[in-house]
Amino acid sequence: MINLVSHSATSSLFDSTTTNVVIASTNELPVVYSRVVSPEVCPNFTFPNGLVSDDYGIASCTINLSVSGNMTARFSNLQSISPVQKVELEMGHSMLNEIKNNSYQGNDRELLHIPMTVETVSGSINVNMTTTSYLHQIDTINNISRDRWLPEQIMSINTSHIRFDPVTMSEQSHLLEKVKLILSPNPNTQNSIIEIEASNLYSSKDVLITKGSNLIQLEEESTSVNCIAGFCQIQWTISSTWQLDDIDDIHWMVVSQDTSGLETGPDLLIRQTAFNEVENDLEIIQFEAFDNENALHDWTDADWPFHIQSNESITVNGQVRFQGVSNTFILPDQARIEVKLQAVPPKNISGGQDVWPEESVNWSDSWFIEVGTNGYFSTVINTPDSLIIPSNTSLEISAHIVRTGPLGQQSNTSNDMTAIYQKTRILFDIQSPEVLSLDVLDPGGQVPADEHVWISGQDIPLRATISDVEGLSPSITVWSWSESKDDLNGDGVMDLEEYVSTTATVNTGSKSAIVDLPIFSWFDVRGSKESGRLSIFIESQDLAGNLLSGGGSFGQDHDLATLIVQNQYTTFFDFDTLDLDLIEQQILPGVEHKLQFSLTDANGIDSLDEIQFAILGRDVQEQCFIHHSPRFSNTQYDNDCFAVKPEVVINQQEGFLVWDIEFNFRVSWQIIESLPQQDWIPSIKIFDEGQDLYLGVSLLTMFEWNFNQDIEISQVEIIEQSGPIGSNTGQEIWLQSNDIIGMNLYLEFINLSIPVQYLNDNFSITGVINNQTSNLLENTTINEQGLINVEFTAKPSYAESANFSLELRLFSPQLQPLASRTLQVYLDDSPPIFSLSLQDLLKVDSNRLFEIPIFATISDDLPLNEPRLEVNWFFSENGSIIQGTSGNQIINSTGITQFNTYFDGEIDITPSDETLLSRDSEITIWFSATDNSGLELTGFGTFDDPLKPRFNWIDFEPQLDTIRVETKNPTFGQNLEIITRIVNTGQLNGTVQVDLIDLDGLVLETKFITIDAGDWIETSWYFEAWTTGDITFFVNLTNYSQSKQVEIEDIDEFNSSNRELNGLIGLIGLFIFLVVGGFGFAYHRRSKELEQYTKMHIENIVRKKRSAPPRPSGLDISNEEE
């Protein structure tokens, strides 16, 4: 791929050999991309030395290109594909054998790792090598005596083995060293469980179990080894123990080894039987359990599972065999059986997992027995005591094999594989059946019979409810005593011999039964007296023989129920207690109201048939009614009229036959639309014996009332569900196009401050734009507290302008308007534009971080509701943020016009630890704010395009520049002169302490040097040469961590004989130096000062014009340059 960027009118690349143009640009296309393919397979090819053979070679290909014009060319994605993809070489067998012998490590079983090295000058290749060999040692399994192998059974295996010369096909010159028989559950010999080795095949013929000696035993008398030359035939005879675990298919393997260590086996035989080839698991069959009367295991019996009481004896029988092997039973004492009786969860008849309905019962008991002849066993077990486990607990009888194998030879691999159905269940039943109730069928309904007052003139029907968790017997006996008929001696005492019995039937095994007893004559009970008594008790038992509980006994103090037959008494209504809590003579829909009054009745409140309350009046009984039956605590009401079920509360005054009654009710909203707008007079009626008692409360004019449905939307709560969150007030909402907002509407009754409650889903709320009827609300929900939740999508198509009104209207189920609220909606899709005065922000001095002036403007279509500008910053170095230098600050607005909001303030970006900053630190500043609709700022200086002012480091920065030794050929005792030059590279004037220190740390001299910003100072230092040889000392800038080492070498001894001559020469030299060199020195120094000044001036210019520091990667969105 070639990318050509032309810098002239036209440019091109062309093939130097053919002069064909490869790629060219024009004025219209100065930048051109082209993929170039060479016209030849390998142009201008040559073969480097050593890379060519008779059959193939590796060539070097060259493409020569020439340039025309001024351009930049970039080359990428160079690809070269060779026409030769595969090279085949043949290797002779002698070479392969040599390679094999060099890699052989003495183990025929291991793979040979043949090292191979492939070298290429360039590129890569794949190398594959294949060989063939010939087998000349053969092992064979000839015969195995049994198809299935059980514990303590003998197994014979016949194998043959031959080693011969593959050329002569003769075994005479070969001998076998040893043979191994292997048994494994899979073809992998490493997973073998039994190994038997035959050695010394031509002499002592030893056969030993080398692995699995606990699993088998060698039958030596039946084992034989016969070998002649390279051929052997072996008869292996072994017997299994109880430790030999189940194997589906034995992988029989045999392998021989010759005297040179060669092995080619093993030979593998897999018989793939339809059963386990090795089987040592046991199972119990023919499981049975009997009590004195029933076969408890017979699940086909209609009474199964049978009910058993506590401490009952049960006989359990069974038989043990090898798993799945017909008519093959174990011998006596080859297994120990545990018969277990344990509590289990009731059976899940739906087929799911059995679970305890309540608290689980953890109980079990066990009985142990040894297996007898033909695998039979039998034992007697007992059900638990009644205090140990609760009644109605399912008990499971099961048998388990807890020891496999003879005594002292218990197997840890032989398992109990008894089928899960070899068990049975019984039901532990010690709980008596119970009479739940005895009721009388009064004209007003079914009520408890005991102490019930029955009105004369009607025969007495009774109904009994009986329950037994475990199951009832098929019949019950009812005993009755009617005072007028059965009190033979007239003493008023219920004697046992005076009771009369009758029988009633129930469904066998039913857990509960409702039985209608024979009708009793009221006259037999009362006769000619003012009142009389009827006594009832019941006897029965359940399927386990437990007697009926709660059925009572003879006598008034012990019977099940005593009824009283008497005449009827008058009911009185207490008008002083009558009250209905109307609100300004009104009923508010959904709000709870209460009706209160009191009744007096000598027959009791339960003797009344019904109390009827009609809130619309006695002439409108079919609507808005509440009918309550005290006997049954049952309330019937008009579902369409009331929001929830009315509550009736009845309390008897202590010590009196007076009852206080309350009716609590909430009228529903939807009933209002179906009723005419008028005043209503409520009504109360009391019924007894099916007749209205006419107590004078059927027209309650003092409680005349009407409905109040005047409500208003008292509050609108806005919840934005998508996009940036805008601002809103009680009447105004700022959104973006297609924003989705949720609105919670709170309703109250006008002028009452009572919340509206129990609006239902039949009410509707609509949204109207600019008074144009339309339903623009979605997902409306109304809860019981009167809170309405709706969603509104601010689509720009709703109105021609971005400013429109949204009226929320609440309608009844009949679409009658109930309440409304108008909101003003502003759509703003244009983000606010941020502009910043950069005059004071292009460069920030390091010593003025606390007072950076900010002059900014935010421009938007509407003034901001919350005019605040947030300034954010951080310092970084080498592209990483310096921890502890981030910050932000809020600037409030200083002026607002129709479209602009102005901000004028200062920010302090000084970090808490100023030592974190350095000359190389960089500043990143960005500004953030949102407009009324929640849109973020756009423009330079925002998060996506932050401001990066140049960080101007202001400091005094002295640096040691040069140190020169002025004294030439110094001698001992002579004053030495050195000159130091110190440069201030910073932008502040300052003074630095300079110390001259010898090698031992002694301060020779100290000077304080003041240097202006950008200037430099040369200072002369004088000291006496205090030794001969080399002198080492240091020039240190104290407090600035700068030091330079100076060495003066070869200081000579002072020579006194030459003092006069040296003095004269020195005087002459001094004169010449002063006259001739004075001007030169002055010129030289001025030249140096000018050179240094020029150098520093250029450095300052370069530093001021350096590129902007790299912004953090999280802020970069494009490549920019300052």
Q: Give per-residue pLDDT as tens, 825-845.
A: 888 888 899 999 888 888 888
Whether residue 1108 is predicted with pLDDT greater than 70 in this model: the reply is no
Tell me the CATH number for domain 955-1054.
2.60.40.10
Taking CA atoms, 348 is separated from 120, 351, 354, 357, 803, in Å, by: 76, 6, 5, 10, 67
Q: If pLDDT is split at 50, 70 and 90, which confidence band does 553 have?
A: very high
Contact 392, 398 (CB under 8 A): no
Q: Kindly report the number of other CB atoms within 10 A of residue 319's CB atom.
A: 19
Q: What are the pLDDT digits (tens) for 198-235?
A: 999 999 999 999 999 999 999 999 999 999 998 999 99
For residue 1061, what pLDDT is reported?
47
Contacts of 669 (CB under 8 A, 6+ apart): 589, 590, 643, 709, 758, 759, 760, 763, 812, 813
Same fold, 137-270 and 711-827: yes
Please choose, from the candidates 792, 779, 787, 781, the residue with its C-alpha nearest in 3D space to the C-alpha of residue 747: 787
CATH 2.60.120 fits domain 137-270 = no
Please state whether the peptide bond connecting residue 518 to the residue before it is cis, i.e. omega within 30 degrees of 0: no
For residue 1075, what pLDDT is reported?
53
Q: If pLDDT is split at 50, 70 and 90, which confidence band does 1118 have?
A: very low
CATH H superfamily, domain 833-952: Immunoglobulins (2.60.40.10)
d(CA 368, CA 333): 12
Taking CA atoms, 189 is separated from 217, 270, 279, 774, in Å, by: 21, 14, 21, 85
Arithmetic mean of pLDDT, 512-521: 90
What are the E-state strand segments in 529-644?
A: 532-539, 561-566, 571-580, 586-587, 592-601, 610-614, 625-629, 634-637
What are the E-state strand segments in 762-879?
A: 764-769, 777-782, 788-794, 803-811, 817-827, 833-836, 843-845, 852-859, 868-877
Q: If pLDDT is split at 50, 70 and 90, which confidence band does 462 have?
A: very high
More confident residue, 732 or 900: 900
Arithmetic mean of pLDDT, 1079-1104: 53
Arithmetic mean of pLDDT, 124-143: 79
Whether residue 724 is predicted with pLDDT greater than 50 in this model: the reply is yes
Taking CA atoms, 884 is separated from 301, 849, 874, 875, 942, in Å, by: 86, 15, 9, 9, 22
Q: Residue 835 CA to chain centroid, in angstroms?
A: 47
CA atoms within 13 A on the CB side of 1053: 3
For residue 843, what pLDDT is reported?
87
Range with top average pLDDT, 252-256, 604-608, 708-712, 928-932: 252-256
Contacts of 25 (CB under 8 A, 6+ apart): 4, 5, 6, 10, 11, 12, 31, 32, 69, 71
Contact 289, 316 (CB under 8 A): yes
CATH 2.70.150.10 fits domain 434-566 = no
Please state whether the peptide bond connecting residue 831 to the residue before it is cis, i.e. omega within 30 degrees of 0: no
For residue 963, what pLDDT is reported?
87
Arithmetic mean of pLDDT, 753-771: 84
- Residue 355: exposed, middle, or buried by beta-carbon count in 10 A (0-12, 13-18, 19+)? exposed
For residue 1059, what pLDDT is reported?
47
Give CB contacts under 8 A, 24+ apart, made by 727-732: 727/865, 727/866, 727/932, 727/934, 729/865, 731/822, 731/823, 731/824, 732/823, 732/824, 732/825, 732/826
More confident residue, 48 or 588: 588
Grouping H, G, I as helix, E, B as strand and the rest as coil, residue 1083 is helix
For residue 612, what pLDDT is reported?
94
For residue 1090, what pLDDT is reported?
55
Tell me, which fold does domain 571-707 have in CATH?
Immunoglobulin-like (2.60.40)
d(CA 851, CA 870): 16
More confident residue, 622 or 182: 182
For residue 588, what pLDDT is reported?
92
Instruction: Give the H/E segment covering residue 318.
Output: strand 313-322
CA atoms within 13 A on the CB side of 783: 8
Q: Residue 4 CA to chain centroid, in angstroms?
A: 55
More confident residue, 110 or 368: 368
Q: What is the dihedral of CA 56, 57, 60, 63, to 10 degrees?
A: -10
For residue 269, what pLDDT is reported?
92
Q: What are the pLDDT digits (tens) for 990-1001?
A: 898 998 888 888
Residue 16 structure tokens: 């130097």
CATH 2.60.40 fits domain 711-827 = yes
Grouping H, G, I as helix, E, B as strand and the rest as coil, residue 496 is helix
Q: What are the pLDDT digits (tens) for 290-338?
A: 998 889 999 888 888 889 989 999 999 999 999 988 888 999 999 999 9
Residue 1060 structure tokens: 């006069």
For residue 738, what pLDDT is reported?
83
CATH 1.10.3470 fits domain 282-428 = no
Residue boundaries of the structural domains of the chain: 2-75, 137-270, 282-428, 434-566, 571-707, 711-827, 833-952, 955-1054, 1062-1122
For residue 1082, what pLDDT is reported?
52
Whether residue 289 is predicted with pLDDT greater than 90 in this model: the reply is yes
CA atoms within 13 A on the CB side of 474: 2
More confident residue, 1119 or 1098: 1098
Contacts of 655 (CB under 8 A, 6+ apart): none
Q: What are the pLDDT digits (tens) for 1022-1069?
A: 888 888 888 888 888 888 878 888 888 878 775 544 444 445 555 565
d(CA 893, CA 869): 8
Arithmetic mean of pLDDT, 108-136: 72
d(CA 934, CA 20): 63
Grouping H, G, I as helix, E, B as strand and the rest as coil, residue 1115 is coil
Percent of the chain at pLDDT exceeding 70: 91
CA angle 367, 373, 377 (to 5 degrees): 20
Please choose, from the candidates 709, 561, 554, 686, the residue with its C-alpha nearest in 3D space to the C-alpha of residue 629: 686
Residue 374 DSSP one-character state: G
Grouping H, G, I as helix, E, B as strand and the rest as coil, residue 624 is coil
Whether residue 381 is predicted with pLDDT greater than 90 in this model: the reply is yes
Residue whose tokens read 């020439």 = 66
Taking CA atoms, 129 is separated from 54, 73, 91, 135, in Å, by: 22, 46, 9, 20
Contact 599, 605 (CB under 8 A): yes
Please choose, from the candidates 924, 912, 865, 866, the residue with its C-alpha nearest in 3D space to the C-alpha of residue 890: 866
Contact 219, 240 (CB under 8 A): no
Mean of the per-residue pLDDT values of the chain: 85
Q: If pLDDT is split at 50, 70 and 90, which confidence band does 469 have?
A: confident
Residue 217 structure tokens: 């035993």
Query: In sequence order, what DSSP letters do the residues of 181-242 get, joined into one string?
Result: EEEESSS-GGG-SEEEEEE-TTTT-EEEEEE-TTTEEE-GGG-EEEEETTEEEEEEEEEE-T
Q: What is the dihedral of CA 242, 246, 250, 252, to 10 degrees?
A: -20
Q: What are the pLDDT digits (tens) for 70-104?
A: 888 888 888 777 777 777 777 766 677 777 777 77
For residue 13, what pLDDT is reported?
85
